[in-house]
Copies of this chain bind each other. A is one copy, B any other.
Amino acid sequence: MVGIREVAEVAGVSMSTVSQVVSGNRPVSAATRARVEAAITHLGYRAHPGASQLRGGRTGTIALIVPTLENPFYPLVAAGMQDVLVPRDILLTVTDASGMDRSTNAIHRLLSRRVDAMVAAPFGIPAAGLAELHDAGIPFVTLGEEPPGGGDYVHSDDVRGAREVTEHLIARGRRRIAFLGGEESVIPTQQRLAGYRAALQAAGLPFRDDDVVCTEFTRQGGRDGAALLLDRDDRPDAIVAANDLIAIGVLDVTRARGLRVPEDVALTGYDDIDAASLVSPPLTTIENPAREIGRACARLLLERLDGDVTEVTRAVALSNRLVVRDST
C-alpha cells in the first residue's frame, strides 16, 4: 500500500509537505506542489481515511434516517442529498429505521460510527433519540418541524398544503370532508390535520372528531382507514388522505365497494409520488419537493460543518403546490 511516506520520498519532500498539499491546510510553493502532485498521480496514492479521521476528527460521512425506503419519497430525499454531498466528497449512509426495534437504535449506531452530521425524519423517532442526537453535539437537521431544544429543520409547509387541498375540495362543493392520517403521534399527520381543520373553519364547516381517522402512512393503512370511513351510514363525500400511499389504499376500497371517485367520494393525496399520477383516477395531490428537501438538508449541514453558522435554529421552507387531477 502506498502511503504519504512513499509519496514524500519520490517527491523529495517531507511527509508534512505531502499532507499540506493534499489537505490544502497551509501554503505550499508552486514548484513543490507540482512535484508532490506528480508523485501522487505516479504512485496512485490515496489517503487512508482512518488515519485522517484519527487525527483530523472527521469521518466525512453524513447519515440519513428515514422511516422506510418503501415510500419512494425518501429515496428521492437521499438523491437530493447526494447532489450536494458528492461534489464535496462526503459519503452518505441511509438507514431505514423501520427495520430496527426503535429508531433510537439507529441513532445510537450512527453516533458510534462517528458520522459527522445527520438528517432525521423525526416520524416515529422518540424524543429520547433526538435528545441523544442533541447531546452528541453533531449538526443535525430534522424534516418537518423544529426539533425540541432547537436546531435546523426543513419543511414544505404541510399546514398550508393540507389547507389548500381541503379548500380545493370545498370549492368543488364538498361539505362532508373526512381526514385520513398516518400515525397519530407523527408530525406530518399533525400538521396536515391542522391544515385540514383550518380550511374547514375558514369555510364555516363543522369539525367532527369522528371524521378524523389515523392509521399508518402506507397503502394498507389507507385500506384500513377507508373501510372505517366508507362503511358508515353517513359516508363523507370527500377524503383528505395524509399522503399518496394512503390515498392509493383508499382507491383499493372504493373499487371493491363499487364507489365512484370523485362522483361518490372525492379524494386527495399528498407528496405527488410517481404513483399518484399512475392510479386511476389520477390523484389530486400536493407536490412535495423531495429532492429539493434533500438538497436543502445537505446544505444546512455543510454550512454547520464549515463553521459559518451561529444561529441555533434555521428553517428552510420549500414551496409546495396543488396538483389537480381527476380524483376531485
Residues 80-99 of A contacting B (Cβ, < 8 Å): 82-83, 86, 89, 91-96, 99
Determine if A53 is an interface residue (Cβ-Cβ < 8 Å): yes
Which residues of chain B are near A114, meaning CB under 8 Å?
A: 48-50
Q: Which one of A67-75, A117-125, A144-152, A223-231 is at the interface?
A: A67-75
Nearest Cβ distance between residue A269 and chain B, in whole angstroms? 12
* Residue interface bits A54-66, CB-to-B below 8 A is 1, else 0: 1000011100000
Determine if A109 is an interface residue (Cβ-Cβ < 8 Å): yes
Which residues of chain B are near A70, meaning CB under 8 Å?
A: 75-76, 79
Partner of A99, one of B72, B76, B83, B278: B83
Partner of A109, one of B72, B89, B274, B278: B89
Copies of this chain, complex-wide, total: 2
Residues 137-171 of A contacting B (Cβ, < 8 Å): none
Partner of A96, one of B79, B219, B278: B79
Q: In the complex the two chains form, what is the Cα distance from A83 to B111 in whole Å? A: 19
Determine if A38 is an interface residue (Cβ-Cβ < 8 Å): no
Q: In the complex the two chains form, what is the Cα distance from A112 to B51 in whole Å? A: 13
Given contacts A48-B114, A275-B278, A278-B275, contact A79 B69 (CB under 8 A): yes
